[in-house]
Amino acid sequence: MSDPIYLDYNATTPIDPRVVEAMLPYLRTHYGNPSSDHVYGHAAKAAVDRARAEVAALIGAQPAEIIFTGCATEANNLALQGAARALFSGNRRTLLVSAVEHPSVTQPMRQLAQGGWAVVEIPVDETARVDAGALEIGDDVALVSVMLANNEVGTIQPIRAIAEKAHAAGALLHVDAAQAVGKIAVNVDELGCDLLTLAGHKFYAPKGVGALYVRTGTALIPIMQGAGHERGLRPGTENVPHLVALGEAARLAREEGAQESVRIRSLRDALHHGLASAIPGLMLNGHAEERLPNTLNLSFPFVTGWDLLAGADALAASTGSACHAGNHAVSGVLAAMRFTPERAAGAVRLSLGRFTTEAEIEIAAQVLIAAWERRVK
Amino acid sequence: MSDPIYLDYNATTPIDPRVVEAMLPYLRTHYGNPSSDHVYGHAAKAAVDRARAEVAALIGAQPAEIIFTGCATEANNLALQGAARALFSGNRRTLLVSAVEHPSVTQPMRQLAQGGWAVVEIPVDETARVDAGALEIGDDVALVSVMLANNEVGTIQPIRAIAEKAHAAGALLHVDAAQAVGKIAVNVDELGCDLLTLAGHKFYAPKGVGALYVRTGTALIPIMQGAGHERGLRPGTENVPHLVALGEAARLAREEGAQESVRIRSLRDALHHGLASAIPGLMLNGHAEERLPNTLNLSFPFVTGWDLLAGADALAASTGSACHAGNHAVSGVLAAMRFTPERAAGAVRLSLGRFTTEAEIEIAAQVLIAAWERRVK
């Protein structure tokens, strides 16, 4: 059997072959430690500097505002634990967090709640969106954390409006943009955030590298201590090949992202149209417009997503959030959207990407329709 | 000019070409997220499982005792912060740490000292060795941290004797083996440690991957929270290509390490002999016998190591600990060995490895002798 059609780009992307090519010299030849004061070290350090500039350029930041990490989970932990520690001696004791965050935000928040912080959840509507107009941020709030785009349903949050309210109240804003960077334009000044997380493996760089944007002047206390790398915020010898990869992936996203998103959105909408025309009662999950262009989360009627995908093994897709499979409980995101158990159970996430073709989308529609009909009829 | 001869393997090693080959399918083809429940995910998960088994086999551990991390610094932080948090509610309030540890151990210890722990330094002799016979471990001690082999001078510590004393006192033992694994045989049961750190980029895997051995039954509270990867101790999507690399590097070290160390030791001793016969007053730093087979730290008379290497640009080597260059203050390790300022300033670390050749060693000796003679005469 040939490989299944990959429609799980939100779980992880393939590495772009151009990114692999950019990495190879740093796997094969330029092996120096960036901290070493000789030509091998200097070559590695220069590569890290270039990567930092590329990542900064992608999101409209200064290079010195980019802290490289081992993954987006680490960046989220550094942002939340780090800001909370830096702010703990102040008078503010409340943290606000949206109801649809990834576990790498909700779990650090849970720990902070045990450490003297009041953690208050910001609800979302049935499209998974925060109502920025209704959001109240008091002067007891130290930090607000709202993701830019949801990993499961793709809904994009009104970050700029949230940032304005946060800053008017004197609070910091952290934005988990792991699922957004590379899929939509992201600019830290337009968003107005103080901290922003990104993940290499969501935009065609390898797994095992991420970054935290830290706006100049934002104080963090690091979660690890060591030899002072990354302005003292993230010690440990730099993962040079992965940083080179992240830089190259950022360059590609900056240069090609806008055009690419048009193509992907068109394929995604064609897939949606094909399925909706054959499956009465098919429901779109997430916001109809304010949504990542690659993400199509649908609830199929009269089946579970699990059973549907089990009968569609020509596709690789996901039911809940693929980052924590093995756990087939109803997704916390869909629960926060107040879905009925039937609608939540019927949800399938189809996420497209750079290498998705029109032919694949046509087959995917046929496969899903046939699998649904076999289950239902 | 051709590339300088690389004698800085203790700073970082090249990636073995066989390790690069093993990684490539996971950069190019097998891109799944190990948490995804489809064939792409299953292939990635199987690769991570194989890597875990290889790393475990290298150090005589069970696979479930291996927690993958983003670097050895992270593994040291997880071990020290994690064990301290888990033990904090007990009666023991003292941590013991040797005087010659890496900053990724000393800096977390410094932070723990601010958090209610008494951190007591274990002195070393003029060879950088702990006197296990003289070591006293009271029943107030929760954790002892002593490295297996020193990064700067290569001295190997009497870990087994320290482990016996630690356990007799009811304390845990953490061993930073970042510089030892792959250079000497390491077996966690023979050492008797409870926690052990290793670093991929010190034994021919890439930078950006490490592991913490956690003996079954040893409680740790993680330093990051998220989606439950690595038995809940280290969340974040796995760095599959680097884990595959770490596994392959572990396999090579297990199969070839013993023979390789004989060859490297012989080259190292030839280099030492060549230099000593031409440079009166040359001093060996570190233990003469209980020392990594690849490490030659020498104090050259009447010069600084810095000036010597500046005049030997056909070589790439290091003066202090290359992991934190830019800082040319006297190394803390050499200070703990109570060196005179002259001896410390004259120190050069020559560290050999898998790709070091006899011809390189002959040239290196000539270059260093000529550079010394130009400076001194």
What is A30-67 written as a DSSP string?
----TT-SSHHHHHHHHHHHHHHHHHHHHHT--GGGEE
Q: Does the pLDDT value for residue A336 go beyond 70?
A: yes
Report the percentage of chain B scoring pLDDT > 70.
97
Residue B89 — very low, low, confident or very high, per pLDDT cuts 50/70/90? confident
The verdict on a CB contact (< 8 Å) between A323 and B33 is yes
Residues of A in contact with B27 (CB under 8 A): 15, 20, 23, 206
The verdict on a CB contact (< 8 Å) between B326 and A226 is no
How far is residue A161 from each of residues A136, B28, B260, measured CA to CA in Å? Answer: 12, 41, 62
Question: What is the pairing mode between strands A172-176 and A141-145?
Answer: parallel
Q: Does the pLDDT value for residue B321 go beyond 80?
A: no
Residues of A in contact with B228 (CB under 8 A): 103, 324
Question: Residue A322: what pLDDT?
Answer: 44
Q: With b meaning 16 or more CB within 10 Å and e meaning fewer, what string describes A77-89?
A: bbbbbbbbbbbee
Q: Identify the weakest region by mean pLDDT among A11-25, B133-147, B214-228, B313-327.
A: B313-327
Report the percentage of chain A scoring pLDDT > 90.
94
User: What's the pLDDT tens digit per position in A348-357?
Assistant: 999 999 999 9
Scanning every residue of chain A, which has its alpha carbon at the shortest distance from the alpha carbon of B242? Answer: A208
Question: Residue B94: what pLDDT?
Answer: 98
User: What's the pLDDT tens digit per position in A116-142?
Assistant: 999 999 999 999 999 999 999 999 999
What kind and span of H or E run contains A176? Answer: strand A172-176
Structure tokens at B282: 């040359």
Mean pLDDT of B310-330: 75
Sign of CA dihedral A16, A22, A26, A28: positive
Mean pLDDT of A311-337: 79
Q: Does the pLDDT value for residue B377 go beyond 60?
A: yes
Report the phi/psi class of residue B317: left, alpha or beta, with left for phi > 0 and alpha for psi in -120 to 50.
beta
The verdict on a CB contact (< 8 Å) between B111 and A225 is yes
Structure tokens at B178: 């970042």
Q: With b meaning 16 or more CB within 10 Å and e meaning fewer, what string describes A118-138?
A: ebbebebeebbbbebeebebe
Q: What residue has token string 């329709």?
A: A369
The verdict on a CB contact (< 8 Å) between A207 and B32 is no
Residue A67 — very low, low, confident or very high, per pLDDT cuts 50/70/90? very high
Scanning every residue of chain B, which has its alpha carbon at the shortest distance from the alpha carbon of A19? Answer: B27
Question: Residue B323: what pLDDT?
Answer: 41
Question: Residue B204: what pLDDT?
Answer: 98
Question: Residue A25: what pLDDT?
Answer: 98
The verdict on a CB contact (< 8 Å) between B237 and A208 is yes
The verdict on a CB contact (< 8 Å) between A208 and B33 is no
Min Cα distance A84 → chain B (Å) is 14
Q: Among A196, A176, A200, which Cα is nearest to A188's?
A: A196
Query: What does the alpha-carbon distance between residue B347 and residue B56 come to, in Å, rounded to a whole number?
Result: 36
Residues of A in contact with B110 (CB under 8 A): 225
Phi, psi at B368, each rounded to 5°: -70, -40
User: What's the pLDDT tens digit per position in B234-289?
Assistant: 999 999 999 999 999 999 999 999 999 999 999 999 999 999 999 999 999 999 99
Write down the pTM of the prediction. 0.96
| Whether the Cβ atoms of residue A154 and residue A297 lie closer than 8 Å to each other | yes
* ipTM attached to this prediction: 0.96
Catalytic residue among A57, A283, A323, A370: A323
Query: What does the alpha-carbon distance between residue A98 and residue A123 come to, in Å, rounded to a whole number?
Result: 6
Say which DSSP state B322 is in. Answer: G
Q: Is A323 a residue of the active site?
A: yes
Q: Does the pLDDT value for residue A159 go beyond 60?
A: yes
Min Cα distance A348 → chain B (Å) is 13
Question: Residue A321: what pLDDT?
Answer: 47
Sign of CA dihedral A312, A313, A316, A320: positive
List CB contacts of B227: < 8 A, sequence separation 6 or more: A73, A102, A103, A104, A107, A323, A324, B35, B235, B236
**Which of A3, A241, A322 faces B33 most closely, judged by CB atoms?**
A322
Count Cα atoms within 13 angstroms, Cβ side, for B166: 27
Query: What does the alpha-carbon distance between residue A207 and residue A71 come to, in Å, rounded to a whole number?
Result: 7
Q: To 5 degrees, how large is the angle CA A271–CA A274–CA A275? A: 85
Burial zone of A323 (CB within 10 Å; 0-12 exposed, 13-18 middle, 19+ buried): buried
Query: What does the alpha-carbon distance between residue A347 and residue B243 come to, in Å, rounded to a whole number?
Result: 33
Residue A326 — very low, low, confident or very high, per pLDDT cuts 50/70/90? low
Q: Among A185, A218, A183, which Cα is nearest to A79's?
A: A218
Min Cα distance B327 → chain A (Å) is 10
Structure tokens at A343: 């609608």
What kind and span of H or E run contains A137? Answer: none
Question: Residue A329: what pLDDT?
Answer: 74
Q: Does the pLDDT value for residue B328 go beyond 70?
A: no
The verdict on a CB contact (< 8 Å) between B323 and A227 is yes
Min Cα distance A361 → chain B (Å) is 18
Q: Among B176, B248, B239, B150, which Cα is nearest to B205's?
A: B248
Q: Which of B239, B350, B367 to mutate to test the interface with A (most CBs of A within 10 A)?
A: B239
Catalytic residue among B53, B99, B132, B323: B323
Q: Does the pLDDT value for residue A282 go beyond 90?
A: yes
Q: With b meaning 16 or more CB within 10 Å and e meaning fewer, what string describes A211-245?
A: bbbbbeebebbbbbbbbbbbeebbbbbbbbbbbbb
Residues of A in contact with B244 (CB under 8 A): none
Min Cα distance B340 → chain A (Å) is 24
Q: Among B233, B12, B96, B149, which Cα is nearest to A73's?
A: B233
Burial zone of A91 (CB within 10 Å; 0-12 exposed, 13-18 middle, 19+ buried): exposed
Min Cα distance A68 → chain B (Å) is 11
The verdict on a CB contact (< 8 Å) between A324 and B20 is no
How far apart are the two ends of chain A, measured CA to CA in Å? Answer: 26
Residues of A in contact with B69 (CB under 8 A): 70
Residues of B in contact with A103 (CB under 8 A): 225-228, 235
Scanning every residue of chain A, which has its alpha carbon at the shortest distance from the alpha carbon of B106? Answer: A226
Scanning every residue of chain B, which has its alpha carbon at the shortest distance from the alpha carbon of A82? Answer: B224
**Which of A70, A111, A206 faces B70 most closely, judged by CB atoms?**
A70
Q: How many A-B residue pairs are in contact by the CB < 8 A criterion? A: 258
Instruction: Please report which residue ranges of chain A form alpha helices under DSSP H.
Output: 17-28, 39-59, 72-87, 103-113, 159-168, 188-191, 240-278, 305-310, 332-336, 341-345, 358-376
Considering only the C-alpha atoms of chain A, give the largest distance between any 2 of them, rounded to a whole number of Å: 70
Question: Residue A178: what pLDDT?
Answer: 98
The verdict on a CB contact (< 8 Å) between A326 and B35 is yes
Scanning every residue of chain B, which has its alpha carbon at the shortest distance from the alpha carbon of A224? Answer: B77
The verdict on a CB contact (< 8 Å) between B40 and A235 is no
